[in-house]
Structure 1
C-alpha cells in the first residue's frame, strides 16, 4: 500500500505551527525512523474511518514529526531549482531566482549575460517548453502566496514587493494561475483556518473512493490452473494492423490535442493513428487555421499519423484546395506531407453523380490522397439493406468507409427487423459478404453496448472485453474510431472528461507488439516468438463468467540459462475507479480535487515489472480476473 499513499495537509495547519514556512523545505531522507511516519498515516486508510472524523491532533503529530526531523531552513524564500543540460540557461535561471523581487525582463537578462533577447526566448521555448515571461511571473505568484497570508501585508504591498506594475496587473496574473483573485484566496484561507480548529470530516468523494476500494476487494478463491507450453509448435496466423481514428470536434481542438498528447497519451501507442476533424466549416478555413494545419502536419508525420478532413461538396473542396492544397503543392517543404492527408466525403447533400464527380476530381488532381466516405447517409435510407449496402461499397470504389452507428442500430436498419438476433453473427455475416471490401470498413462509434451486443453478454465492461473485441474484429475490418474526449458514460474514448487517460490507450500499447506479426491464439490470449524471444498476452477472456477471480498460469519453457521476464500489468481498476465518477451526477469531474484525479490516472496506468528467472524452473504468473498481462521472455 505504500505506493498508493499520498498525504495532503492543509496549509493553514502548517503555517499555524511554522510561520517561516516559505523559508524552508522538507527532506524525508532525514527521518530517523520512517516507520514512525508510516504508523501515523496508515491507520486513517482503514475503512472504519470512512464517513467519520479525524482528530486534528493526529495531523498535528505528523506535522510535529516533519518539523522536528525533516525541516531544512533557508536564508531566503524557497524556490524550486531547475537544472538543465544547458549551462547558460542554468545561470539565467539562478539569476532569475535571485532577482524575483525586481522587475525582470529579457532585456535586463540579455544585458547581464551579453546575449540577445531573442536567444533567451529561444532557450526558454526549446528547453523549458515555456515563455520567459510565464516562468518569471509563475515564480513571483508562487512566492506571493505566503506573503498574502501575513496579517501585516496588504495585497498592494505584496504586488509592489514583486515589482508588478500595478495592483490590477498582479490580480490578473494571480487569477490566471489560481482561478481566483488575491482577495478571494485570502478569504478562503481564513475560512479554512477556522475549519481547521475543529476535527476534519472525510469529504463525499473520499467516501466514494473508500467504498469503492472496499466493494471491489476480491474474495479469496482458488485460482484456476492453466498451462502454456512454449516447447510445442503452434499454428499461427497474421494479426492485421487496424487503422485508428481519433475524432475531434473542430480545428480548435486539433491544436490542443497536439499540445496535450505528449502529457496524457502518445499517438504512437495507437496502430496507424489518424486524427479526424469531425466539423470543418467554410468559416474555419482562415489564414490562421491554415497556418496551424501546416505547422501541425510535420508533427503528425513524425508520429506516422494522418490528418483526416471532411468534404461536404465540390464547392467546399475547391475552397480547401485554394486555401490549403495549393500551398502544399507549391512548396517543396510541405510536399512530403501529402500522404499525411486524407479526405472523408459526407454525401448528405450529394447525388450519386456528384459523389462520383467529386471523387474523380480529387483523384485526378491529387492521386496520393486517400478518399473515404461515410456510409451513414446511405444506411439511413429506408430502402437500404445488407445487399444494397454491399453493392454500394463495391461500386463506389473508395479507399475506406466510415460507419458511425451503434451495432444494434446498424443491424436493425440493414435487416429491418425488431426480432432479437445475435449481434455478433449478424455483424460478421455482413462483413463476410463484403469479402475483401470489409477491410475498408472503419467503425467510428464504439460504445459499451456495442461490445456487449457483439459478445451477446451484458456484463460489466472491462479491459479484457475491450481487448478481445479489438483483437477479433481486427481480423475482419479496417479499423476503429474513438472520440478524443468521452461525452457519454458508455463511450469508449481516449480521455475521460477530466482528461485522464482511459484504459483504451494502454490496451493498444499492449496489443501493438503483436500487430502485423504472425501469432498464435491460445485460450487466454496471444503468443509470438522471434529469435528466442517470446511475447505473450494473457487475459481471462475465454472464461469471463467464471466465478474464479484469478488464473495461475504455468509457462513451460526450454531456456538453458537464466532469462529475463518483463511483465506489464493492466489491472481491472481502470473502469472500477472511473465508473463511480461517471455515474455520480452530483459530482462535476472537472471540479474534483486535482490530486484525486491524478491518482485515478496513476491507478489506471499499467505497472511494469522485470525480474531474472531460473532456467530450470517453470514460470508462474497469477492473472487477476479482468486484467491484462503482457510478458516478454528473453535471454
Structure 2
C-alpha cells in the first residue's frame, strides 16, 4: 500500500472521483482553490478529500498533495466507512501542517521513518478530523443546475440499485440522451461513469470486510455479475478485486508504509537538504529578523519588451510563452519599434489588429514607436487607425501608449502631437525618446526644462550606459579623463528633477555595460543585472529589453529556440517584493508581506577554489517548526544562456526534444520544514541567487 507525495504547481485537473485513497492538501505560500463536490472552495491551511468525493484542482500553486490509500485507514479502524474527515474539525491546524511537512526535511527514503510518518498522520486524522455518521459516507453533490441536482440525489438514494439512463428517464420523464448530455456538460463525465465510480468507491469498504465475498459485494451494488463488477473495479482501482484483497491482507501488519515521490526533483531536494545540514561552512553572516526596519518601499517597476516589428509580434503571439511572461513579470509593456505596415499583406494586417486586441485584453500594455520620418506622413493614417480599432474594445486604450522620437528641432512638433493625441484619446499615455536631446543638449538644467515642457508620461533613453556616461562626463562634468560610469549615471539621475527621473525608462542594458558599470569583469552578469534592478527600482520608472536579439551581448527574454533566458527568472524572483516595504543590505533584500517574509540573496564571490560560497544565518523567533520555500538560480538551473550551439541547424532536431530542453532550464524549487531550534542557514554557491519565503512569526 504505497502513499504518494507531490508538489502541484500551476496544476489544473478535470473533475474526477477520489477512489481508494484519502488526499491531504497543504498550501505552502498562497491560498489555492479546488472544486470539491460541486463547490469551489478556497484552501488556506489545508483540505482533506475523502474516498468517493468529486474534486478538481483549479490552477493550484505550490500545493503539497499527500495521497494515502484507503486500506491503511481500514487497518486501524474497521468502522471508517461510517465517517469522513474534515480539516475544519482539526483544532490545531498548524500542528497538523507541521506533521505533514516535517519529513520533507528528513531522509524520506528511510522506510522505517516513513512507516512512523504515515502512521502518525493516519492516527491524527482518526483522532482529530473524523466526523462520525449513522450511515456510510456518501458525498452530497452541489450544483446550480436544478435537474442535475435532482438526478444526482436520486442516484445517491438508489446507489445500491441497478441504475441506467433508461430507468432514470422513466422516473423523470426525460430522454436518455438528455440525461447523458447534462452529466457530460455539467460534470464532465457521463451518467455511467458517475454511477459506476460511486458504486466502486463505496464498495471498497465492503470488500475489505473478511466476511464479505466478491460475489456478495457485486450483488449488493446491483452489478449484473462478478465479471462486470471486476471489470469496473479494475478500471477505477487498476487491479482486480481479488488481487486488491490479497494485497490488503498480505501487507496488513508486517510491511512498512511506503511513499512514492511524484514530483521529479523532490527526492533530490530532500537529499540535498539532509546533506547540507551536515556540512561545515567557511563563513557566516547573521540577519536578525526582529531588529530589521523596513523603511524603503520596493516600487512597481515597468518592464518594456522590445518587439522589432509586426512580424515579431505575430511570432510572439504564436507561443504559450506570452502567458508565462505575463504571469512572471510585473507590468509587461510590448514596445513595437517599427510600426510601418508597408511589408504586411491584408491577412497579416488583420492579424496584427486581432493580436493587439487580444494582448490588451490579457493585460499587456502596448507602446507604438513613432519616428520623425513618419510624423507628418503616416501617423494620422496608421497610428490613429490602430487607436480607433482598439477603442472599440472596452478599456483597451488605457493599455496603449505612444513613444515619440524628438530633438531640438522637432521639440515643438512633438509637444503639439502629444497634446493632439491626449485630446483625441484621453486615456492613452505619451512618451518621448530623449536620446537626441541628451546628445545635442547643453547644460543639464536646460535638458530638464525641455523634458518638463514636453509633459510626457515617460522618457525613454535607448543609448547604452557607456555612451550616456561619456556624454554626461564630457558635456556636464567637463571631464576628459576616464570616468566612473556608475558615479556619472547616478549623478545624472540625481541632478534632474526627481519627478522626471521617476519617469525614465532605461532601454539598453548589455552584459558589457553592466560589467563596466560595476567595474566587475566576472562572467556572472546575471547577478549584476539583479543588482542594478534593485539599485534603480526607487529612482526610475523601469527598463526595456529586447524580446530576442541576434546580439549575444544583449539581455533578452528568449533565445532562438524560444527558451526563457535568465532575465525572465530574475524578474520573476523580484515580483514578490513589489509594493512591499523592504530592507536592503550588501547581498540582497528582505521584504515583509501580511503573512510571509520574503528574502532574496545573491552571491558575487569568486575564488580559484570551487568551495567558495556565502552563508547567511537568519535568526528568527519561531517556537515551532515552520515551512520554508526556496527558488534557486545558479549555473545548473535557470542561467544557461545557450542550451544549443548557435552553429547547430535546428531543422535537424525534433521539436519535442527542443521543447524538453527548454523546459529543463528553470530555477530549482525546494520545500522543507525547518526546525525552530536552529537559525535558518542559507548557503549560496558562487554566482547563485536564492529566493526564500517563510511565514511571519
TM superposition score normalised by structure 1: 0.59
Give the one of 487, 490, 493 matched to 1:428.
490
Matched position secondary structure for 2:291: coil
Matched position secondary structure for 1:508: helix
Are the counterparts in 2 of residues 386 and 415 from structure 1 also a CA contact under 8 Å? no
Are the counterparts in 2 of residues 578 and 600 from structure 1 also a CA contact under 8 Å? no
Q: 2:606, 2:358 → 1: CA distance?
A: 41
How far does the alpha carbon of each residue in 1:216-242 deviate from its partner, in whole angstroms, 9 at most, with x for none?
A: xxxx99532122222323242011111
Give the one of 254, 275, 280 matched to 2:313.
254
2:385 maps to what in 1?
A: 323
1:372 maps to what in 2?
A: 431
Task: Establish whether residue 347 from structure 1 lines up as the match of residue 406 from structure 2.
Answer: yes
Give the one of 499, 502, 507 matched to 1:444.
507
Task: Establish whether residue 611 from structure 1 lines up as the match of residue 672 from structure 2.
Answer: yes
Give the one of 626, 634, 647 matched to 1:563.
626
Task: Establish whether residue 306 from structure 1 lines up as the match of residue 376 from structure 2.
Answer: no
How far does the alpha carbon of each residue in 1:9-47 deviate from its partner, in whole angstroms, 9 at most, with x for none?
A: xxxxxxxxxxxxxxxxxxxxxxxxxxxxxxxxxxxxxxx
Matched position secondary structure for 1:510: helix
Distance 1:477 1:302, change over 3 A: same
Task: Establish whether residue 622 from structure 1 lines up as the match of residue 680 from structure 2.
Answer: no
Q: 1:328, 1:499 → 2: CA distance?
A: 28
Distance 1:464 1:590, change over 3 A: farther
Matched position secondary structure for 2:502: helix
Query: After the TM superposition, which residues 109-148 of structure 1 pair with which residues of structure 2 at under 5 Å, given as runs?
Result: none
Q: What is the CA-CA distance between 1:388 and the residue it aligns to?
A: 3.7
1:357 maps to what in 2?
A: 416
Are the counterparts in 1 of residues 357 and 396 from structure 2 also a CA contact under 8 Å? yes
Q: 1:411, 1:545 → 2: CA distance?
A: 31
Are the counterparts in 2 of residues 498 and 590 from structure 1 also a CA contact under 8 Å? no
Are the counterparts in 2 of residues 384 and 413 from structure 1 also a CA contact under 8 Å? no
Distance 1:352 1:577, change over 3 A: closer
Distance 1:309 1:285, change over 3 A: farther
Distance 1:358 1:302, change over 3 A: closer
How far does the alpha carbon of each residue in 1:359-405 deviate from its partner, in whole angstroms, 9 at most, with x for none?
A: 11111111211001111232333x55544433322222211111111
Are the counterparts in 2 of residues 297 and 337 from structure 1 also a CA contact under 8 Å? no
Distance 1:444 1:545, change over 3 A: farther
1:229 maps to what in 2?
A: 288
- Please give the root-mean-square deviation of Cα atoms over the aligned residues, in Å: 3.1
Are the counterparts in 1 of residues 439 and 471 from structure 2 also a CA contact under 8 Å? yes
Task: Establish whether residue 466 from structure 1 lines up as the match of residue 505 from structure 2.
Answer: no
Task: Establish whether residue 518 from structure 1 lines up as the match of residue 518 from structure 2.
Answer: no
Q: Rg: which structure is higher?
A: 2
1:537 maps to what in 2?
A: 600
Q: 2:383, 2:585 → 1: CA distance?
A: 50
1:502 maps to what in 2?
A: 565
Distance 1:591 1:608, change over 3 A: same
Q: What is the CA-CA distance between 1:600 and the residue it aligns to?
A: 5.3
Extract unaligned runs of 5+ from structure 2: 1-176, 178-184, 186-278
Distance 1:349 1:475, change over 3 A: closer
Q: 1:310, 1:380 → 2: CA distance?
A: 20
Extract unaligned runs of 5+ from structure 1: 1-113, 115-122, 124-219
Q: 1:418, 1:593 → 2: CA distance?
A: 55
Q: 2:423, 2:630 → 1: CA distance?
A: 50
Matched position secondary structure for 1:566: strand
Q: 2:433, 2:425 → 1: CA distance?
A: 20
2:519 maps to what in 1?
A: 456
Task: Establish whether residue 267 from structure 1 lines up as the match of residue 329 from structure 2.
Answer: no
Distance 1:623 1:633, change over 3 A: same
Q: 1:576, 1:442 → 2: CA distance?
A: 25
TM superposition score normalised by structure 2: 0.54
Aligned pair count?
412
Q: 2:326, 2:648 → 1: CA distance?
A: 30
Q: What is the CA-CA distance between 1:301 and the residue it aligns to?
A: 3.3
Query: After the TM superposition, which residues 181-220 of structure 1 pair with which residues of structure 2 at under 5 Å, given as runs?
Result: none
Q: What is the CA-CA distance between 1:451 and the residue it aligns to?
A: 1.0
How far does the alpha carbon of each residue in 1:530-588 deviate from its partner, in whole angstroms, 9 at most, with x for none?
A: 345211111124x5679762123222211222211111111134687436967xx7555
Q: 2:434, 2:607 → 1: CA distance?
A: 36
Q: 1:323, 1:285 → 2: CA distance?
A: 15
How far does the alpha carbon of each residue in 1:293-345 deviate from its partner, in whole angstroms, 9 at most, with x for none?
A: 4423453234432011122304422113552323344x3xx141010111011
Give the one of 468, 471, 484 matched to 1:410.
468
Q: What is the CA-CA distance between 1:593 and the residue it aligns to?
A: 7.3
Matched position secondary structure for 1:611: strand
Matched position secondary structure for 1:224: coil
